[in-house]
Structure 1
Amino acid sequence: MNKVASYIVTGVLTLIFAGVMYYLCLPAWNIHSSGLVVFFIFVLIFAFFLLGWTGIRPMYQRKKYSKRKKGTVVMSTSFDVKQGASVAAVFVMAATGILVLFWILGGFFSSRLFHATAYSKILQVSDGAVTDIPSVDKTDAIALMDTASATKLGDREIGSLTDLVSQYEISSGDYTQVNIGNEPVKVAPLSYAGVFKWNNNKDKGIPGYVSVSPVNMDAEYIPLQEGMVYVPSAYFSQDLDRHIRFAYPTTIYDDLHFEVDEEGKPWYVATTYNYTIGLYGGKAVSGVILVNPMDGSMQKLAVADVPSWVDVVYPGGLICKQYNDSAQLQRGYWNSVFGQNGCRKVTEYSSDDDDEDSGVKADYGYIAKEDDIWIYTGVTSVNGDSSNIGFIVANERTGETKFIEASGADEFSAMKAAEGEVQEKRYVASFPSLITVEDVPTYIMVLKDKSGLVKMYACVNVSQYNIVATASNQDDCIAKYQALLQGKITAEQATGEGTPEAAVSEPAADTASYESRTITVAKLQTMDVDGNTYLYIVDAEGNVYKARYVDVEDMLFVNVGDVITIETDGVGYRYTRE
């Protein structure tokens, strides 16, 4: 093969390879897309190897002749770059090296090392209050069900539909937490159970989706009048990612997920992004792409133009990552690595068997509030000491984020406390949600058996995670917890069987005879008595006063040596901060 033919063959095969690679990988044609650079690197590597096998390869070799003693002439070849280096191969190799260097340096100079302040300002965090946490009278807006439980209910619902179960399935990763009619709901579309099932059903599409209520703990299959054709589980031109990419070749998007509007119409939503720091840094939400999966019509919208029924524009994982940057990089990169003065982070868990990259990940719960879905997660020190210094709540539609100062146990300590109360049953707690009961921040969660079925509910006090109530239904659990906070029942009764009305109440303290007294605090001591926590005060004169902790929570702000005014009969006391 002559040189010209070799170049032609190499060029044609490289173009074919590039076309197949692009069709499969779908990188955005955008300078801020690192995937595009990787795409070109692989294409050039392919071209480089082709240059060695289509006729140019002999240019690397030089013939040598040697004469042996018996007069036999033997021809041999050896590699000699100097004699026959291909200009094309050298050019391709150099271009590949330049792209690799561009990719590495682009990432390096976009990193937090050089732009710590810019990263810390991507997410704007305002101060919140305990009133931003839903109160106990809004528990119908709390999504207690985790995705694993929703998947089991959804699978059970689909399994009962014999005409669907053989052709379609639901993946746990397909569920999205949305808010419909101000009630939290998990929704997931059916998906094709493989390429052959897609081929058999591609003309009519996906026939419906599943809606799971975390409040009622039930699932419902919603059939559609018109099937969804453009979906992630389809192939070739019906593949949703491919459909979006060909329509918006330069747009960087991610977090493609399923949602339902207020009329029950299905949509797919993809969040679009800009990179605001260097080439590959400062990932910031710019808007969404809405896709009608029935006819494939699409519209690209800025954040300000997103309709109110869309619940997830700012993914929870991105919010948590940006909050960590905000909380750790305000005093510079090196402080976040070494001194860590004032550094905080969201609640995290370690996992080695997730579908995503293994390692440490943020975890968060959901709250339905004001017709939007809010996420919440605890905030702790970077040392990870199993305690929280507060919480963040963030609106997944608008990105509004608030920090609420409320110290106490982290979510995983609360989960262990709840599991400990029913350890003989070996129930497992799901990740909790956050509510307030009697203006007290409280974790509420479900307890599941080995099969993943919800068996009980638990409430755990944030500031004192030894204050726990459990029951077989949510209403009784909250009622028991309220009675426990009010001192009407003991800790044993709060975690025992039966309703709170049937529990033996401890009589409330009679404060009619209390008089005002100013004392100097010499000592403070908590003590558990009959399942209730008491706070004892010893004043400078040696007098001892006691009260149930829940009745004197303002004592949290009192230190030894403070002069305070209490109401007391000489034994019991009440204290209210002025």
Structure 2
Amino acid sequence: MNKKKQLLLNLALTVFFVAAVIVRGPNLNPLYSDGAFSWCFAISCYVVLNFFICLGSLRITTNEYNRMQFSIDSSVKSVKKGFVLLAILWVAYFAVTMLSIPLFNYKAYRDQLGTPQVSEFNETVQPLALNQLPIVDKDLARELADKKVGENPGLGSQVVLGTPVIQKVNDKLVWVVPLEHSGFFKWLKNMDGSAGYIVVAANDVSDVTLVTDHKIKYQANAYILDDLNRHVRLFGGGLFMGLTDYSFELDDDGVPYWVLTTYKNRWLFNLPEADGVLIVNATTGETNRYTIDAIPEWVDRVQPESFVMQQINNQGQYVHGIFNFSNQDKFRPSRGDIIIYNGARCYLFTGLTSVGSDESAIGFILVDMVTKESFLYQMSGATEVAAQSSAEGKVQQFGYRASFPMIINLDGQPTYFMTLKDNAGLIKQYAFVSVANYTNVGTGETIDSALRDFRQMRGSSGGILTGQTAKSVKGTVLRIASESLGDGVTYKIILEEKPNLLFTVSYDLSNELAVTQPGDRVSIDYMTSDTGICIATGFDNLAFTQKAEDGE
């Protein structure tokens, strides 16, 4: 085979690889495992191709003594060098892959998260107002968004829902769901972008908004140059970057962006560490790179959940090295994690359990999803899964299923909050579960009623309410009214001496409530809720007490 044909075959192989890079958009940085494999594979293809080309140039002849002679193109020498190079590359690739495992540097695995700051729970986790509790989880956000799409004729056949992402937009906690093309022909018909996105309030199932002011041109389900990964790799400077965690976020003006985490490996091919973000305007495709110290304020997350959870697991797994066969002091994250907001900051929260234990937690960890600053709470209690089972057990007659719980600061104590949903995924009740004692469960059809039930349950079981001391007041009833809430009745009372306070009293606090009238003297023990309403923990109608003392 002549040199010209050899050149053409190598050129064809080059065109194939260039096309593959354009189509697939791989990471070509050899400092990453996937990038190194790509280069080793490509070079292998060139060497093997030229090897077969050389075989094609093999000539067998006989000399004057009828002996066979072999002649081969002089390029065989370059093929030999190619195989030597190939062997070196593959040996190096597998050697680096093996050296990347924890056996050769367990300290790097153990210490990647850093040393968490040991903290008191009620000092770092801020209390939430009851009306700000997130009752909408990811699955429900998707269902509500799907219902909103169904309300718009013609839209449902054009788009599919992307992945809901929880975030704070202008201090409001919401789920944002991008609308993506439902197929090639839908993309071809709407090449300026899909319809927009849906915003679902995290604390109100009725607050669902379809936003069509901004088209979503660049997305994972688009085609050709509108494909998000292809756009970022080819035109956003990402061809030699480690990229992960494609997250859909809004800035404070509602402009949609894709936030992609950039990362580098801290130990050979392993221990990925986030070092910044690529922010892509979902409409225009404009791409900017930021380090962690310089990201815009509206970006909530940089650290991928998978990175953080793996680092927590590594810290517990290698606490005393590789060969800790007795499992001394080993711990692991509990089965599940949740993104919560503490003030304006976004955190990952998960329980920690000892190896071999699934029901009880030995502590909890809170990790900032931008800076990776971590806080450790050394307290025993129930894991999230155990709390779910406890809440479901209290309403087992209904067959409700508990959402994954979030942990909140309630009365200065860590408390799980979750929703209870039916088989259709609709919220039917709410539940509070004590972290310290998961047998203390309060449920109700409203958050207020669940909270009252929880406080009463915790009080009757001998629990001590800390962070807020119960107050007591005596006065004359100015107004009293009853309200049916689920299976119970709540009385609302205003006293002449405290006209600016509204006391809510559950019907089961006292039999005297049903016959209490304006003008009666009463004594109320209460605690002030996050919303300013006074929730009664004790009630006594002094008029009846006085009559009993007088023997009437």
TM over 0.5: yes
Partners of 1:328 and 1:344 within 8 A in 2: yes
Query: d(CA) in 2 for partners of 1:251 and 1:331?
Result: 34
For the 8 Å contact 1:189–1:208, the answer to whether it is kept is yes
- Kindly provide the amino acid, as one letter, of the partner of residue 21 in structure 1: A
- What is the DSSP-based 3-state SS (H/G/I as helix, E as strand, rest coil) of the residue aligned with 2:3? helix
CA distance in 2, matches of 1:462, 1:343: 22
What is the DSSP-based 3-state SS (H/G/I as helix, E as strand, rest coil) of the residue aligned with 1:19? helix
Q: TM-score of the superposition, structure 2-length normalised?
A: 0.77
- Contact 1:376–1:392 (Cα < 8 Å) also in 2: yes
Deviation of 1:303 after TM superposition, in Å, equals 0.6
Aligned residue runs from structure 1 range 514-525, under 5 A: none
Contact 1:346 1:379 in 2 (8 A): yes
Partner Cα distance (2:133, 2:340) in 1: 5
Q: CA offset at residue 101 of structure 1?
A: 2.4
Question: Compared with structure 1, are the counterparts of its residues 47 and 34 closer, same or farther at alpha carbon in structure 2 (3 Å cutoff)?
Answer: same
| Equivalent residue runs for 1:143-542 within 5 Å | 143-171=134-162, 174-202=163-191, 204-218=192-206, 220-246=208-234, 247-248=236-237, 249-277=239-267, 279-335=268-324, 338-348=325-335, 363-487=336-460, 497-498=487-488, 501-505=505-509
Corresponding residue of 2:475: none
Quote the Cα distance in structure 2 between the aligned partners of 1:92 and 1:424: 72
* Alpha-carbon displacement from aligned partner over 1:237-279 (angstroms, at most 9, x marks no partner): 11121221122132222111100112212111111112122x2
Shift of 1:371: 1.3
Relative to structure 1, the CA distance from residue 9 to residue 130 in structure 2 (aligned partners, 3 Å threshold; closer, same or farther) is same
CA distance in 2, matches of 1:273, 1:475: 44
Counterpart CA distance in 1 for 2:101 and 2:132 is 39
Contact 1:388 1:409 in 2 (8 A): yes
Q: Distance in 2 between matches of 1:499 and 1:126?
A: 45
- Secondary structure in 2 matching 1:162: coil
Q: Distance in 2 between matches of 1:506 and 1:378?
A: 39
Structure 1: 5+ residue stretches without partners? 65-79, 349-362, 508-549, 551-578
Q: What secondary structure sits across from 1:486 in the alignment? A: helix
- 1:12–1:215 CA distance, 2 compared to 1 (3 A): same
CA distance in 1, matches of 2:355, 2:61: 66
SS of structure 2 residue aligned to 1:504 = helix
Paired position in structure 1 for 2:471 = none
Distance 1:280 1:504, change over 3 A: same
Q: Is the 8 A contact 1:134 1:434 kept in 2?
A: no
Which amino acid letter does the alignment assign opposite residue 295 of structure 1? T
Deviations 1:491-519 (A, max 9, x none): xxxx9932564442389xxxxxxxxxxxx
Shift of 1:96: 4.1
- 1-side partners of 2:194 and 2:34: how far apart? 30
Counterparts of 2:489 and 2:339, CA distance in 1: 28
1:94–1:383: structure 2 CA closer, same or farther, 3 Å change rule? farther
TM-score by length of 1: 0.74
Give 1:401 deviation, angstroms: 1.1
Check the 8 A contact 2:390/2:441 in 1, yes or no. Answer: yes
Q: CA RMSD in A?
A: 3.2
- Map Cα deviations across residues 365-393 of structure 1 (whole Å, 9 max, x no partner): 23222212222111111223321011111
Letter of the 1:406 counterpart:
M
Shift of 1:81: 13
Shift of 1:347: 1.0
Q: Indicate how the Cα distance of structure 1 residues 190 and 383 shifts in structure 2: closer, same or farther if over 3 A, else same.
A: same
Deviation of the 1:59 alpha carbon: 5.7
Partner Cα distance (2:385, 2:280) in 1? 38
In the TM superposition, what is the alpha-carbon distance from 1:40 to its structure 2 partner? 2.2
Please tell me the residue identity of whatever aligns with 1:275. Answer: N
Q: Give the 3 Å change call, closer, same or farther, for CA 436–14 of structure 1 in structure 2.
A: same
One-letter amino acid matched to 1:239: D
Change (3 A) 1:143 1:32: farther
Alignment correspondent of 1:16: 15
The separation in 1 between residues aligned to 2:409 and 2:452, in whole angstroms, is: 13
Q: Determine the structure 2 residue equivalent to 1:117.
A: 107
Q: Percent identity?
A: 26
Q: Is the 8 A contact 1:183 1:368 kept in 2?
A: no
The alignment partner of 1:163 has SS state of coil
Match of 2:121 in 1: 130
Please report how far the alpha carbon of residue 13 of structure 1 lies from its aligned counterpart in structure 2 after TM superposition. 2.3
Tell me what 1:536 maps to.
none
Structure 2 unaligned residues grouped into runs of 5+: 63-69, 464-484, 491-504, 512-536, 538-552
Q: Whole-Å Cα distance in 1 between the matches of residues 19 and 292 of structure 2?
A: 34
Q: How does 1:547-558 map to 2 (within 5 A)?
A: none
Whole-Å separation in 2 of the counterparts to 1:458 and 1:272? 39
